[in-house]
Each structure stands twice: as C-alpha cells, then as structure tokens.
Amino acid sequence: MTNTSLETNPAPLLKVEKLSVSRSGRSIIEDVCLTIDEGEFVGLVGPNGGGKTTFLLTILGILKSRKGTIEIYGQKPASKSILGKIGWVSQSAANIPNNVRITVRELVQLGTLNARNMFWGGGANQYEQVKNAIQMAGLQDVENRDLSQLSGGQRQRAIIARILASKAEFILLDEPLVGIDRESRNSLLKFLDKLCHESQKTILMVSHDIAAIQQTSHRMIYLEEKIRYDGAATCFPDLADLAALRGIQPVHEHNYTENKLYQLENLEEK
C-alpha cells in the first residue's frame, strides 16, 4: 500500500480511477474517478442506460473494464481475499419465481456459504449468524414462511438479510426500491440507515428514486456516462441545475414539488 498518511486519512474502501467500461462495443462509462470511505452511505442515481448497473458489475469484477483501475480494500475486484467482504443485491434478486419453494431461513442460510465451506452446507457457527441476520432484518415472525408469501418489502429485506449472514461489510444494492409500496419503502430505508449507522456497513445504493435516496444517504453521485455530480446529498442540485450539468436546456419549467423522480423522467422524455 502506498498510502503514507494512514493514521489521519485511512485508505478508502473503494478507489476507482479513470474507469471506462464498454458493453457490446458501446462506451457506457467514461473516465470515472471516485473514492468511497468506510461507513459512507452513497446513493448512485442517473437515467436508464447511464451506467449505474454497469458500474456496480465492474466493481464486482463481473464485467471487465476497458481502461482505468479499481481497488477494493486495496485489492483488485473479485480477488479471493475480499470475496466475503462484499455483498451484492441484484436488481432481479427479489424476483425469485413463485414456483421456487424456499423459506426466509433457507434463503438467509445461503448467505453463509463460501468457497471453503460450501460442501456439506455451511460453517459451524452459521446458526447464530443466520439468526442474527434474520433479527436485524426484522423477519423473525416470517422466517419459516415461503418467500412467495411475503410482501415485496419483506422479500427485499430477506434478500438483504442473506447478505448480512455473509458478514459482508460493503453492501451494493441495485434498485432495491423497485416494486414495493411506500410504506415498505420507508421501512426498508430505515433498515438500511440502521445498517450503516449501527452496524458500520458501507452502502452503495443504486436507485431511480432520487427523493428516497436523498433522505437516507450521506452522499449522492449522479452518473450518466460520466459523473455529473458527486457531493453531499443535501446539496443535490434541483432539476434545472441538473439539466445544465447534463448539458440539456430545460424546455419547460414544471411545478412538481414533491416527486422528483417523476420530474426527472419527464425531463428525459423531452
């Protein structure tokens, strides 16, 4: 490690430098630089096709970068030594088909698996680990229920509980708020907030829901091929400024006050 001032400024958990990624010949991400420190709650927003999911998959080492470097915990993506430290909730994770019979407990148990203990089904202390994860997610009452009997919010929490059972410290979530109602959304956000502040997890969450991210995360990043905004969530620009950042002149001033998500999508259509 080349970091000389380790005491005052600990090495960032994630360090991305000049990252460019292409998918099927098209450049999705250009020259992205960012660092994430331990304990941060970062919201990643941006339009469809702006590269949010691509960015996450590249960090995970599932997609290869064209240019640039990524370091997680000082290691390359998907290095063996960091595998257990990263948890990933994919966009489709909660879409487990209804014909799959699996209970919350069975699902969470899968989180305790790794390359070393996967034979004969998990480590010795997994019972405690699973129990704690289920408790943290507040799913004790439904732990023996089949996933298809749960609400969208409960399902999403079950998927996150699976990550918690793995003892991951850096949690990446891809659109966890899609398809769940407002009430579940709020309880899920509260849960994530608790994870960050009480369990010292670092969270990077991708979402369309700018309003939701803004009330929970510390820091927001607006990604559309390049990073257009990176800063405190409270200072996230409103839409006219955002459009300027994206190089678009807002055609028409809207008067929506509450739902920024809707505004942004509306803007894209113009």
Partner 1 sequence: MGVGSIILKLVAPFLEFIAPVIPGEIFPYFFTMEMFQRALIAALLVTIVAGFLGTFLLIRNLALIGDGLAHVSFGGVAVGVVLGSAGPLWYALLFSIIAAILIHEMQTRELLTGDASIAIFLTGMLALGLVVLRIWGGGITTDIEGYLFGNLLLIDEASLDLICIISIISLFSLSIMYSGLLATTIDPLAAQVQGLPVRAIGLWFSIITASVVVSMVQVVGTLLVTALLVTPAATAQLISRSFRLCLIWTQIFGFISVILGLYFSAELETGSGSMIALVAAVIFASVMIFQSIQRQFIQPTDNIN
Q: Which of residues 33, 110, 211, 239 is near partner 1 by CB under 8 A?
A: 110
- Each residue 170-209 as x (binds partner 1 by CB under 8 A) or -, in order, gives -----------x-xx-------------------------
62 forms part of the interface with partner 1 (CB under 8 A): yes
109 forms part of the interface with partner 1 (CB under 8 A): yes
Which tokens hold the place of 247?
């190089």
89 forms part of the interface with partner 1 (CB under 8 A): yes
- Each residue 136-165 as x (binds partner 1 by CB under 8 A) or -, in order, gives ------x-xxx--xxx-xx-------x---
Q: How far apart are CA 202 and CA 127, in angstroms?
A: 24
| Least spacing, CB of residue 77 vs partner 1, in Å | 10
| Least spacing, CB of residue 17 vs partner 1, in Å | 22
Catalog residues that contact partner 1 under the rule CB under 8 A.
60, 62, 80, 83-84, 86-90, 92-93, 96-97, 99-103, 106-107, 109-111, 113-115, 118-122, 142, 144-146, 149-151, 153-154, 162, 166, 181, 183-184
